[in-house]
Amino acid sequence: MRKRILFIVLCVFAFTCAYAETIILRTGARVKGSIVFQNEEVVIIRDPETGARFQYPRAEVTEILTVEAEEPEQVAEEPEEAIRTAKKVSIALELAGGAAVNPGNGIGGAMSADLLVGSHHIGDKHLFIGGGLGYHGLFIGDEKFNFLPIQVALRMPFMETKHAPVFGAAIGYGIAMSKDYKGGIYAAVDLGYRCQLNPKTALALTAFAQFQQATLNNTEVIEYVEFVNHSGRNLVVPGIKLTLFF
């Protein structure tokens, strides 16, 4: 009877060891157990001691190691450290186009390109906070406005999954590229869809609304006296934006 019990215990122990794996998360944490299910969205792992199951988003799992692969600690740690270092700074390249609206003075077109630098991973979240500059061109009738916006931006997905809705916001100052007008406050909000292509790269397609202040300098000559009038413009741009995080 004792031999049978010992034999069963050894079989269970051997079965557990044979199928033990370790998953490494973005935070550097390691979770040991047996993977019972995995796909592009999730990884489910079972604790061999308690039998409890834990589910993790697939995008948060950087590596899966077997017992044999985990033996040499230096081999597992080296790639993990390289991945974490590469994620400290991310770049967001944004290209956008839409309609330019000058309330009371007509509608035209707009195009823009922005380059932002910041962190794409804060804690366990794909939260981008950064800053940068860009080029925004607005064309309304005979009026043309070109700005270099200096901005602080936020890009935040609502869920930590491969496919998720995303919200964005930015605020800054648009520097005028002409002496005929002055720049002013710049602000924008985005709402759309984001796809995590791999641990370091994501693509987002969003609808946005942008606001830019401008002040025109109009010069008039009355009885040989020159007068400069300042008229304000509140320029609004709704459109579509494509963002690549890398």
Q: Which residues contact 86 (CB under 8 A, 6 or more apart)?
A: 200
SS3 77: helix
d(CA 187, CA 185): 7
Residue 124: what pLDDT? 65
Residue 85: what pLDDT? 39
**Domains, the chain, ordered by start:** 2-84 (2.30.30.100), 90-245 (2.40.160.20)
CB 211 within 8 A of CB 239: no
pTM over 0.85: no
Strands, sheet with 42-46, edge to edge from the N-terminal-most edge strand? 53-57, 42-46, 30-38, 21-25, 61-66
Residue 219: what pLDDT? 65
Residue 161: what pLDDT? 86
Residue 89: what pLDDT? 81
SS3 101: strand
Mean pLDDT by groups of 10 residues along the chain of 246 residues:
48 47 84 84 83 84 69 43 52 95 86 91 76 94 91 91 93 92 94 89 94 80 60 90 93
